[in-house]
Amino acid sequence: MSQATADPRLIAARHAPKRRMRLSWSDPAFRAIVWQVVIVGIVAAIAWYLISNTSENLAARHIATGFAFLDRVAGIPIGESMIPYNPAVNTYGRALLIGVLNTLQVAVIGIVLATILGTLIGIGRLSKNWLLAKLTAFYVEVLRDIPLLLQLLFWYTILQGLPVPRQALHIGNAFFLTNRGMRVPLLEWQPAHTWALLAFAIGVIGTILWNKRATRQQEATGRRPATWPVALGLLVGLPVVVWAILGAPFTLDLPALKGFNFQGGGTVSPEYFALLVGLVTYTASYIAEIVRSGIQAIPKGQWEAAEALGLRPAAVLRQVILPQALRVIIPPMTSQYLNLTKNSSLAIAIGFQDVVSIANTTLNQTGQAIEGIAYIMAVYLTISLSISLFMNWYNARIALVER
C-alpha cells in the first residue's frame, strides 16, 4: 500500500514529533525508569549483602576461597571416563571435566533415544489397532505416575540381579551381559578411521548443499532432481573410498573371559545403563503425549486431502502431518529435553559419577562448598541454555512466516 493511499491519520501519527519525557510522577515513562532503577538497586543491595556476609563468615572460619584447588591432585577414583584419567596424577579440574563429559554423554544419548521412543509411542496411541493403542496408553499412564528415582532404583536392582561373569548372558562371542555391565566389541581406532569420519562429515555438508540446490530447482521448474543417489554417494561411497585407499583396516577388540571378569572390548556399566534406561523410558512417556497432542492439533481435513491425492497413511503422517505438527510439538519438547538433562543429576543415587557426584566428592575433600555448588550450577545452566538456544532456533526456522 503506497503512502498516497494510506490512512492520513497513520501518516500524521508517523510524522508527529515525539513527546518529551517530563520529570513528573504523572509521566508514565518517568515512572517506568524510576521503578527500574529502584528494582536494580534492591537486587544489587541484596547481592552485596550476601557476598559480603559470606566473605566475612568464611574469613572468620579461616576457609580459603577461589578455584585454586582445581590445580591440585584429585585422588578421586572414577570408574568411567571418556578421556584418560589417573587419580594419582590428574587434578580436580580434570576430574570435574570428566564429570561434565559423563553428564553430556547421558543427556545427549538420552535425548535422542527418548525422542525416538516417545514419538513412536505417541503415534501408537493414535493407532487404529486397539491392542497397540491400549498398550501405549498403559505405558504412558504407568510411567508418568511412578517417581523417576524409584524407576532408576528399579532398573539398577534388575541389573544387579544378572548372572556373574562366568555365567554371563551372551549373544555369540561378542556381547556379554553380567551384573558388572555389558561387554561389547570395540573397534581399534586407526588414522584411516579418522579420515573416513572426516569424509563422512564432508559428505553431510555436500548432501545439505545438494538438497538446497534441488529445492531451488524445484521452485524454479516444478521438477526436483533425485537427491538419494547423491546422498548415498557422499554419505556412504566417499567414506568407504577413503577408508579403502588408506588400507581398509578393520580390527575388533572382542571381550574375553579371563579369570573372574572379562577383558578387552568396551564396557557399559550397570550404573550408566540403569540411568540411561530410566531417563529414556520416563521422559518418553511425556514426549509421547506431546507428539499425540501435536498430531491431533492438525485439522482432520489435512488427512482427508492427502488421502484424496492417493498417499498412503504412513506417507501422509510423514510428509504432511508431522511437518505441521512440529510447530506445536517443539516448544513443549524443549522443556522435556531440559528436564531429562537436569534429572540426570539423580545419577548419584545409583552410583554413576556425573558432574554432581564428582563435584560433591571434590567439595567434601577440599572444603570449597561454595565453589563446588557454583560449578554444578554453571554446568547445568550452560547445558540448559545451549539446548534452549538450539531449540528456539529450530522453532523459528520451522515457524510460519507471514508475507
Q: What is the pLDDT of residue 12?
A: 57
Query: Which residues, listed in sequence order, are joined to residue 181 by a DSSP beta bridge?
Result: 178
- Whether 385 and 274 map to the same domain: the answer is yes
Q: How many CB atoms lie within 10 A of CB 400?
A: 7
Torsion sign across C-alpha atoms 161, 162, 165, 167: positive
Does residue 230 belong to any structural domain of this protein?
yes
- Whether 297 and 150 map to the same domain: the answer is yes
- Whether 214 and 362 map to the same domain: the answer is no
Which uninterrupted H or E stretch holds 140?
A: helix 130-145
Does residue 100 belong to any structural domain of this protein?
yes
Instruction: Using pLDDT thresholds of 50, 70 and 90, give the confidence band for residue 172.
Output: confident
- Coil, helix or strand at residue 173: coil
- Coil, helix or strand at residue 41: helix
- Whether 179 and 135 map to the same domain: the answer is yes
- Whether 141 and 280 map to the same domain: the answer is yes
Does residue 170 belong to any structural domain of this protein?
yes
Q: Give the Cα separation of 375 and 363 in Å (integer).
A: 10
Out of 217, 250, 283, a domain closes at 250
Q: Which domain holds residue 115?
A: 92-188+251-398
Residue partners of 327: CB distance under 8 A and separation at least 6: 395, 398, 399, 400
- Whether 54 and 183 map to the same domain: the answer is no
- Whether 182 and 136 map to the same domain: the answer is yes
- Whether 373 and 273 map to the same domain: the answer is yes
Give percent of the chain with pLDDT exceeding 70: 94
Pick the range with the lowest mean pLDDT from 76-90, 131-145, 341-355: 76-90
Question: What is the domain count for the chain?
Answer: 3
The CA-CA-CA angle for residues 253, 255, 260, to 5°, reads 145
Give percent of the chain with pLDDT exceeding 90: 39
CATH value at residue 324 = 1.10.3720.10
Q: Give the Cα separation of 400 and 128 in Å (integer).
A: 31
* Chain centre distance of CA 382: 12
- Whether 219 and 272 map to the same domain: the answer is no
Does residue 38 belong to any structural domain of this protein?
yes
Confirm if 350 and 275 have CB atoms less than 8 A apart. yes
The mean pLDDT value for 6-20 works out to 59
The three three-digit cell numbers of residue 224, written as one number: 526436483
Confirm if 100 and 90 have CB atoms less than 8 A apart. no
Does residue 84 belong to any structural domain of this protein?
no
* Tens-place pLDDT, residues 42-95: 999 998 998 888 778 777 776 667 788 888 888 888 888 888 888 888 899 999
Torsion sign across C-alpha atoms 215, 217, 221, 226: negative
Instruction: Using pLDDT thresholds of 50, 70 and 90, give the confidence band for residue 1.
Output: very low
Q: How many CB atoms lie within 10 A of CB 11?
A: 12
Does residue 86 belong to any structural domain of this protein?
no
- Whether 215 and 296 map to the same domain: the answer is no
- Coil, helix or strand at residue 277: helix
DSSP string, 187-198: E---HHHHHHHH
Q: Give the Cα separation of 210 and 225 in Å (integer).
A: 10
Does residue 240 belong to any structural domain of this protein?
yes
The mean pLDDT value for 158-184 works out to 84
- Whether 51 and 167 map to the same domain: the answer is no
Question: Residue 120: which of 285, 235, 360 has the closest Cα?
Answer: 285
* Tens-place pLDDT, residues 210-229: 888 888 888 788 787 888 88
- Go through the chain and tell me how many residues it has: 403
User: Is residue 398's pLDDT more than 50?
Assistant: yes
Does residue 72 belong to any structural domain of this protein?
no
Q: Which residue has the cell 493407532?
A: 127
Out of 250, 268, 287, a domain closes at 250
User: Is residue 117's pLDDT more than 50?
Assistant: yes
- Whether 218 and 269 map to the same domain: the answer is no
Q: What is the pLDDT of residue 14?
A: 59
